[in-house]
Amino acid sequence: MITILCLISCMSFANQNYDADIQKLQNKASKSSDLYVEPEFNFKTYKSITLDIVVTNEFGDPSANVIMRISSLPVGDNIGTDELWAKKSVISLVRTDQFGRVFRQIEVSNSVNSLLLELHQQTANNIVELNLPDSLYVSHTFEIH
């Protein structure tokens, strides 16, 4: 009995027309039900980035329990590096595992184009700015002395 009922109601949905209402395309919307959105419109306002970061010492051995700050940077073509880094937004604090590695996914706004990675170690090259590739896979190796 339930199967027959479902078939009848499912068939009624299959016959509906989902083409855009011409009036909604031509008139200004006064409420959300008046809006028309293209079928390929993406409601997601974030993207998932895979981070693969390794921290080693000068001998190439893994450095465990190193804390790192991951921040997003604003888009700024005419802004100097110091000003840009001052306007960063912290996304996450992470710690390397026993293999000196951080491997995880983080979600950032679609507007984020670069990340700032900062080790909490007093060493040369403890900070790096990385542009996000199209693959959304970020890999970097820090060597601490």
pLDDT for residue 52: 96
Domains and CATH numbers, the chain: 46-144 (2.60.40.1120)
Residue 143 CA to residue 63 CA, distance in Å, equals 9
pLDDT for residue 85: 72
Among left, alpha and beta (phi > 0; psi -120 to 50; other), residue 125 is left
pLDDT for residue 124: 75
Among left, alpha and beta (phi > 0; psi -120 to 50; other), residue 11 is alpha
Q: Provide block-wise average pLDDT over 10 residues at a time, the chain (145 residues).
A: 50 60 73 71 82 92 94 68 77 94 92 88 82 89 88
Cite the DSSP H helix spans in the chain.
Answer: 2-14, 22-26, 81-86
